[in-house]
Amino acid sequence: MATVPRRFTSCINLSLCLLVLLHAAAEYDLRRNPRTQQQNGECVYTVYVRTGSVIKGGTDSKIGFTLGDATGRAVVVEDLEAWGGLMGPGHDYYERGNLDVFSGRGPAASRRRCAASTSPPTDRALTTAGTASTWR
């Protein structure tokens, strides 16, 4: 039986938490204020990232995400921290046990999202099989 190397385990945990929380936050925002989408074609997305608690869990990589809908529209963020890091100056994002919060504007997607990925900026493969990560 093959095992996943420990360094990839924290990346997988980070990406799965990001996808679940990203989808929930975007859906909540659309339900709470559906007029935002109609008025200017943009929405506010709030992303919560909880890094796993394994020893040496965490990363200094830039983390991005893509969230797409059935019409081909997508929100693409290359670097979450630069896009909308809310934790204050000097905060060390994506460290073991942290809950990091990001918020920023992006193009409105339909309520029916069908593709999502999280990745370092050089690896943004978009999947259509629901939420999945694309770590290498």
The domains of the chain are located at 6-131
Measured between alpha carbons, how far is 67 from 115 in angstroms, rounded to an integer? 6
SS3 71: coil
Instruction: State which fold the 6-131 domain adopts.
Output: Lipoxygenase-1 (2.60.60)
C-beta of residue 68 within 8 angstroms of C-beta of residue 125:
no
C-beta of residue 87 within 8 angstroms of C-beta of residue 103:
no
Please list the ranges in the chain whose pLDDT falls under 70: 1-40, 110-113, 120-136
C-beta of residue 109 within 8 angstroms of C-beta of residue 65:
no
- For residue 33, the model assigns a pLDDT of 55
Measured between alpha carbons, how far is 13 from 16 in angstroms, rounded to an integer? 5
**Long-range residue pairs from 1-10, CB within 8 A, at least 24 positions apart, any chain:** 6/54, 6/56, 7/56, 8/135, 9/52, 9/54, 9/57, 10/51, 10/52, 10/54, 10/56, 10/57, 10/58, 10/59, 10/96
- For residue 25, the model assigns a pLDDT of 53
